[in-house]
Structure 1
Amino acid sequence: MKKTLAHANRMLKLFGFFKVPLIWYCRPKILVLNEERVQIRIPLKRRNKNHLNSMYFGVLAVGADVAGGFMAMSKSESRGKKISLAFKSVTAEFLKRPEADVIFTCDDGKLIDEMLDQTIASGERVNQPVRITATCPTLHGDEPMAIFDLTLSVKAIN
């Protein structure tokens, strides 16, 4: 994945603007993108707060979606393969109110590589859960605010 962060962020903005406007509206930014990890920050702004002045849970779901899906899209693009990507299920545990910018981290790069290898070899859809952890480093360090388990579903497109 030799993509620069600037290029990755441009692609994310374009994808959000043209394909999933809610992603664009939440203004995610990729902070880290490598073979193992992706980190996305969504700033806490008036547009994504709830009535308790913390991040609305729907915005938290957007952050988890981007963190879980962007790495798979980027890895397939770097292989020159097109994939169909979706999430089949989601479970979330909301532990603490995120009252500042939220960082969404997914460290499942190896698992996603295995999924891509399997779907490219077999042509079949592959489903595996990926974990995304949401933190507010400015207020709580590495303490999780929420933990998401999303079942990533990928299939190679011929």
Structure 2
Amino acid sequence: MFSSPLARANQHLSLFGFLKVPMIGWCRPKILSIDDKHVTMRIPLGRRTKNHLNSMYFGALAVGADVAGGFLAMAMAEQRGVKISLAFKSVNADFHKRPEDDVVFTCFDGNKINQMISESIETGHRVNQPVTIVATCPSLHGDEPMATFELTLSVKKIDD
């Protein structure tokens, strides 16, 4: 049976969360759209992800930012047939409003990430650049940011 690229991306994310980073699996993220320039994914607000104020817990928001930035880099490397080592070196977050429903995380830094992968392929060195992830709560606040994350993404091509 053939599945869409989006369905395959979600299967890959679920498997990664189950096998490699259980906290990702625990938060149940779902990719809504992905292409060469951006990724949009959602984490549902529920028992697993909310805090004592009935808004999304800080840790779940951090997972969403991590997945949005990291999954785009992993998908781009896989599309190019390259294995990469990926990590985040730093994080800066500004919290604007309490997200009291499902949160959508968007990263539009696909071009920057693609350039980072190219540079690592060419030089063989680790490349570090900040990527921006915006968290919104569309059902309550439309496109108004609930939080803005800047994560320093670090990628390096792995030799086969």
TM bracket, shorter-chain basis: over 0.9
**Residues 55-105 of structure 1, C-alpha deviations (whole Å, 9 max, x = no match):** 000000000000000010000011111000000000000110000000000
Corresponding position of 1:47? 48
- Paired position in structure 1 for 2:147: 146
Report the secondary structure of 1:39's partner residue: strand
Gaps of 5+ in 2: none
TM-score (norm 1): 0.98
- Whole-angstrom distance in 2 between the partners of 1:137 and 1:125: 36
Whole-Å separation in 2 of the counterparts to 1:47 and 1:83: 30
Indicate the SS of the match to 1:90: strand
Which residue of structure 1 aligns with residue 22 of structure 2? 21
Counterpart residue type for residue 142 of structure 1: D
Any unmatched runs of 5+ in structure 1?
Answer: none
Q: So what's the TM-score if we normalise by structure 2? A: 0.96
Does residue 61 in structure 1 map to residue 62 in structure 2?
Answer: yes
Computed over aligned residues only, the root mean square deviation of the Cα atoms, in angstroms, reads 0.7
What is the percentage of aligned positions where both structures have the same residue? 67
C-alpha separation in 2, matches of 1:76 and 1:37? 14
Correspondence 1:1-158 to 2 at 5 A: 4-158=5-159
User: Which residue type is aligned with residue 96 of structure 1?
Assistant: K
Aligned length: 156
What secondary structure sits across from 2:48 in the alignment?
helix
Tell me the distance in 2 between the aligned counterparts of 1:36 and 1:156: 20
Moved over 3 A (4+): none
